[in-house]
């Protein structure tokens, strides 16, 4: 968790002065880590409610929620898990909505390595990292992209898989993989592209990565949680979400 | 079980077997030195050997990823030797497993050598046996229970390894996807049936290992 000291201080003051301030316990998909921190900061400044977020893979959260994990809301990396949670009565299906649509990029830490059209995928390289398609929606999108390009079967043996989209980026960040398919939100920092080179994969090469949020039945502070869900749909949150390269429906 | 799961089982056994063999070769002289030496270096070396007992696997995995990566000293060495990079390969996992299980191989052998005392080797020396002869026909047979324990523990501990493999492996079927990682994938993908099959097998295997260690210890006492 990264809060600015000033933000923390402001939060503490608010907590001290506002007795009606609530807390939202959020399970958040790893690719949305930084955006949700920014949104939570704004949300707290505007409403006094705080957000306690845990970050991880959507599949892991699903298992935990099924087994009674103490969360009020899930911000998933896909739309199938929230759908399943709604159908199984673990969450409120009516509260479900798409808070962001993810974009896929091919990223390398080396400047000038990845070209503007992704031709490097047909060239010479040692290892390409993708998230495990069984576990991560961005892994599915990476596989779909490689399949659309007709490269999937030819690249077997050169593809390494991260268990989450964060580990996938870490493989490329340490230089152990030459490049990686990650979320656009991971290669943006303060609105600017981080060090390295990248190719934003055209939308027609993979199915849209719809990221849905849903309120869980284990919700404790429903007032703060409802306020947070409403805030996520508001102009301020949308501006932050867009600044990280996500689309909206 | 799917072919991929069977591949994971085979790979796990191969990794554990290779690791155990390398550990025996490394741990035997190390254990001998640690059991006999009066050097000031004994403390630091013993502490270094036992580090993996207390370090979280994430620490080991993290440093190995950096050291064996293209910017790390070991990575540069392997690349200049034409061996390529070690992370995401079977041999990369072997290196990680050897370090991770080192204390489990060294400690039992060291204890067995220490318990034997100086006397048997001295007696053998008076019979004009050379050091190599004395070591292999006196010390090793006397320390046999220690060696057996070391083999079983090193093998089992490698089978039970997870954190280092997860950080270093890259999840490649037949190359780095061992059973513990396959179980993790099944659970994450919500395929609990497949997870149970492998996880249940692991419980049974671990129980048998500990039971056989117990029987081994009992036979030694009688």
pLDDT given for residue A16 in this prediction: 47
Residue in B85, B184, B189 nearest the CB of A176 = B85
Residue located via tokens 């998933």 = A76
Q: Cβ distance A47 to A229 under 8 Å?
A: no
Q: B-chain residues within 8 Å CB-CB of A60?
A: 187-188
Would the pLDDT of A8 be above 80? no
> What's the predicted TM-score (pTM) here?
0.79
| pLDDT 10s digits, B118-165 | 889 888 888 888 889 999 999 999 999 999 999 999 999 999 999 999
| pLDDT 10s digits, B182-191 | 999 888 877 8
Task: Check the CA dihedral A15-A17-A19-A20 and report its sign.
Answer: negative
User: Min CA distance, A86 vs chain B (Å)?
Assistant: 16
**Interface size between A and B, measured as CB pairs under 8 A:** 58
pLDDT given for residue A20 in this prediction: 66
**Within an 8 Å CB–CB cutoff, is residue B62 touching chain A?**
no
| pLDDT 10s digits, A49-68 | 999 999 888 888 888 898 88
Residue in B166, B172, B188 nearest the CB of A135 = B188
The chain A residues in contact with chain B (CB within 8 A) are 57, 59-60, 62-63, 126-127, 129, 132, 134-135, 157, 159-163, 167, 171, 174-177
> Quick one: closest CA in A to B192, which residue?
A63
H-helix or E-strand containing A93? Answer: none
Q: A-chain residues within 8 Å CB-CB of B65?
A: 174, 176
Would the pLDDT of A41 be above 70? yes
Please tell me what DSSP assigns to residue B189: T
User: Min CA distance, B181 vs chain A (Å)?
Assistant: 10
Q: B-chain residues within 8 Å CB-CB of A175?
A: 69-71
**Can you tell me the distance from the alpha carbon of B34 to that of B108, in angstroms, rounded to the nearest whole number?**
12
Helix, strand, coil percentages, rounded to 5, for chain A: 40, 25, 35
* CB contact (8 A) between residue A63 and residue B190: yes
In chain A the first and final C-alpha atoms are separated, in Å, by 28
Between A58-62, A138-142, B28-32, the lowest mean confidence (pLDDT) is in: A58-62
Q: Which residues contact B92 (CB under 8 A, 6 or more apart)?
A: B64, B68, B85, B86, B168, B169, B176
Displacement of CA B31 from its chain's centroid (Å): 14
User: Min CA distance, B176 vs chain A (Å)?
Assistant: 10
pLDDT given for residue B207 in this prediction: 93
**Within an 8 Å CB–CB cutoff, is residue B69 touching chain A?**
yes
**Within an 8 Å CB–CB cutoff, is residue B83 touching chain A?**
no
Would the pLDDT of A4 be above 80? no
* CB contact (8 A) between residue A134 and residue B71: no
Sorted by where each starts, the structural domains of chain B and their CATH numbers stand as 3-221 (1.10.3720.10)
Q: A-chain residues within 8 Å CB-CB of B68?
A: 176
> E strands of chain A, at which residues?
23-29, 50-56, 73-75, 97-102, 104-108, 128-131, 159-162, 179-183, 188-189, 192-193, 197-200, 209-215
DSSP collapsed to 3 states, A134-146: CCCHHHHHHHHHH
Q: What is the ipTM of this complex?
A: 0.73
User: Min CA distance, A178 vs chain B (Å)?
Assistant: 10
Q: A-chain residues within 8 Å CB-CB of B184?
A: 163
**Can you tell me the distance from the alpha carbon of A183 to that of A244, in angstroms, rounded to the nearest whole number?**
10
| pLDDT 10s digits, A97-127 | 999 999 999 999 999 999 989 999 999 999 9
Q: Which residues contact B141 (CB under 8 A, 6 or more apart)?
A: none
pLDDT given for residue B158 in this prediction: 96
Residue in B69, B184, B188 nearest the CB of A174 = B69
Phi-psi bin for B88: left (phi > 0), alpha (psi -120 to 50), beta? left
Residue located via tokens 């050379």 = B130
> Quick one: closest CA in A to B88, which residue?
A160
| Closest alpha carbon to B187 in A132, A186, A216, A144 | A132
Share of chain A above pLDDT 70, in %: 92
User: Min CA distance, A130 vs chain B (Å)?
Assistant: 9
Sorted by where each starts, the structural domains of chain A and their CATH numbers stand as 5-101+209-243 (3.40.190.10), 104-200 (3.40.190.10)
**Within an 8 Å CB–CB cutoff, is residue B82 touching chain A?**
no
pLDDT given for residue A1 in this prediction: 45
Between A10-14, A214-218, B54-58, B159-163, the lowest mean confidence (pLDDT) is in: A10-14
Class of residue A229 by CB neighbours under 10 A (exposed 0-12, middle 13-18, buried 19+): buried
């Amino acid at each position: 968790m990264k809060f600015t000291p000033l933000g923390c201080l402001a939060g503490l003051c608010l907590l001290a002065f506002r007795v009606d301030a609530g807390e939202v316990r959020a399970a958040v998909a790893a690719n949305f880590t930084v955006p949700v921190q920014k949104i939570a900061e704004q949300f707290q400044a505007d409403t006094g409610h705080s957000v306690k977020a845990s970050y991880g893979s959507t599949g892991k959260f699903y298992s935990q929620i099924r087994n009674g994990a103490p969360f009020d809301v899930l911000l998933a990396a896909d739309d199938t898990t929230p759908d399943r949670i709604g159908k199984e009565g673990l969450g409120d299906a009516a509260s479900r909505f798409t808070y962001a649509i993810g974009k896929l990029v091919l990223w390398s830490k080396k400047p000038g390595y990845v070209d503007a059209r992704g031709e490097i995928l047909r060239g010479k390289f040692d290892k390409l990292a993708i998230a495990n398609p069984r576990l991560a929606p961005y892994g599915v999108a990476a596989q779909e992209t490689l399949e659309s390009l007709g490269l999937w079967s030819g690249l077997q043996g050169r593809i390494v898989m991260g268990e989450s989209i964060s580990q996938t980026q870490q493989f490329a960040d340490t230089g152990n993989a030459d490049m990686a398919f990650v979320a656009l939100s991971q290669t943006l920092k303060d609105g600017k592209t981080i060090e390295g080179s990248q190719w934003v994969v055209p939308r027609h090469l993979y199915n849209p990565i719809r990221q849905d949020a849903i309120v869980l039945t284990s919700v404790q502070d429903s007032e703060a949680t409802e306020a947070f869900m409403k805030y996520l749909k508001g102009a301020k949150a949308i501006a932050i979400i867009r600044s990280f390269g996500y689309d909206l429906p | 079980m799917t072919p991929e799961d069977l591949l994971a089982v085979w790979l796990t056994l191969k990794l554990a077997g290779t690791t155990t063999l390398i550990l025996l070769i490394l741990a035997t002289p190390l254990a001998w030195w640690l059991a006999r030496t009066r050097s000031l270096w004994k403390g630091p070396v013993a502490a270094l050997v036992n580090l993996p007992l207390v370090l979280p696997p994430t620490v080991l995995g993290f440093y190995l990823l950096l050291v064996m990566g293209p910017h790390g000293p070991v990575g540069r060495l392997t690349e200049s030797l034409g061996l390529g990079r070690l992370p995401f390969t079977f041999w990369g996992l072997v290196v990680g497993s050897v370090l991770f299980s080192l204390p489990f191989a060294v400690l039992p052998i060291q204890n067995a050598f220490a318990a034997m005392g100086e006397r048997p080797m001295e007696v053998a020396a008076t019979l004009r046996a050379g050091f190599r002869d004395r070591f292999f026909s006196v010390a090793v047979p006397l320390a046999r229970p220690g060696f057996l324990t070391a083999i079983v523990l090193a093998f089992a501990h490698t089978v039970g390894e997870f954190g280092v493999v997860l950080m270093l492996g890259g999840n490649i079927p037949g190359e780095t996807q061992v059973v513990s990682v396959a179980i993790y994938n099944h659970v994450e993908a919500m395929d609990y049936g497949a997870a149970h099959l492998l996880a249940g097998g692991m419980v049974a295997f671990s129980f048998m290992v500990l039971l056989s260690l117990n029987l081994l210890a009992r036979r030694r006492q009688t």
